Structure 1
């Protein structure tokens, strides 16, 4: 759950890696886990145990990082990088299938290149950014970023690349009704670039 108190995560041995995330006005530091348990750090998402990438003995400790401000007393977001294709697919399926908990609000791109999805947490007001890409072995891998609803500077700083159209939508909807969706945005702007790789129905 976010925000999370740093004291709740003491067993992870988190270490700061400096600022550089956020906006000019609001900066967040990145905190990563130190190597523990001989490099095996138990992590799960939605009850799904995160495992090493195939043929890797070193990846797990660095696959989870947190974003924090105010000297890191609490964390307002995290990034879970998934280089194990099986893990990535399980977590993506979990987010897609738990419709009572997560609403897909943005889906742009292609599976054979990069595909960006944004989920809105219905019960916890957390925004989940999911990027899938194809690795050198032709397998789908990616990451999940979770950001507290009120942390607009943090969210804005993460919306680049294939997520840029979602950022455009958030800017546009500022003077719209609360239920103004990305599909409404596409229809109203009638922009071929927004339509080109949209997968929402």
Structure 2
């Protein structure tokens, strides 16, 4: 009996270690990321890229989100009565380099999305909210800077029947071309702000930007105080 209990204990430890070895905490992922850190995700080249004429980023994706979490919060899929809508993550690398400079995580499960957004908002010392544009129950874009891991996070909330799902773009803060390629739609005003900051001081905040004469348009949907 003792031998059997010992064998079961060893087997449990192996399974536990295997499980934890497969799971990836995206909060702890430092960009640029080594491909070895993503080996369990079985990434596939999408055949499509993003970027501009000077810098191109290839896209690699997977829907194996059961191996992912953010700060311990699982990334779940969402099932509805009409279609199966799965959460997906795409990683980007520059000019076919080995490392990955950013990713886009589409979260279709409202519970997972709400918990992760809540985590960003609750940890203000780590994630500095530098942009907040749009309205709840419609579409709301937030940008967080994390100095600890040198990452910019773009978080878009999309509302459907009163519940929000959305996506998170995480970009190494040195990859301005990749960041610019993600600044569309509700994030577009932040791109204008970055252009403004080139002309002014790099210490200028988004609030400084919207206080400039003639920038009343940007104030209409701004939520920063």
Q: With structure 2 as the length reference, what TM-score do the two structures score?
A: 0.81
The number of equivalent residue pairs is 194
Q: How much does 1:51 deviate? A: 1.2
Unpaired runs of at least 5, structure 2: 1-29
Q: How much does 1:177 deviate? A: 2.4
1:171 aligns with 2:195: yes
Q: How much does 1:6 deviate? A: 1.1
1:12 aligns with 2:36: no
Deviations 1:144-176 (A, max 9, x none): 000001111100011011111000000001132
Larger Rg: 2
Deviates more, 1:92-101 or 1:63-72: 63-72
Q: Aligned ranges for residues 97-116 of structure 1 at < 5 Å?
A: 97-116=122-141
Moved over 3 A (4+): 54-58
Aligned to 1:154: 178
Aligned to 1:59: 86
The one of 54, 57, 61 equivalent to 1:28 is: 57
Aligned to 1:96: 121
Alignment partners' CA distance in 2, 1:189 and 1:5: 45
1:145 aligns with 2:169: yes
Kept in 2, the 8 Å contact 1:48–1:90? The answer is yes
Q: Aligned ranges for residues 108-147 of structure 1 at < 5 Å?
A: 108-135=133-160, 137-147=161-171
RMSD, matched Cα? 1.7
Alignment partners' CA distance in 2, 1:199 and 1:81: 23
Unpaired runs of at least 5, structure 1: none
Alignment partners' CA distance in 2, 1:54 and 1:190: 46
Alignment partners' CA distance in 1, 2:63 and 2:212: 48
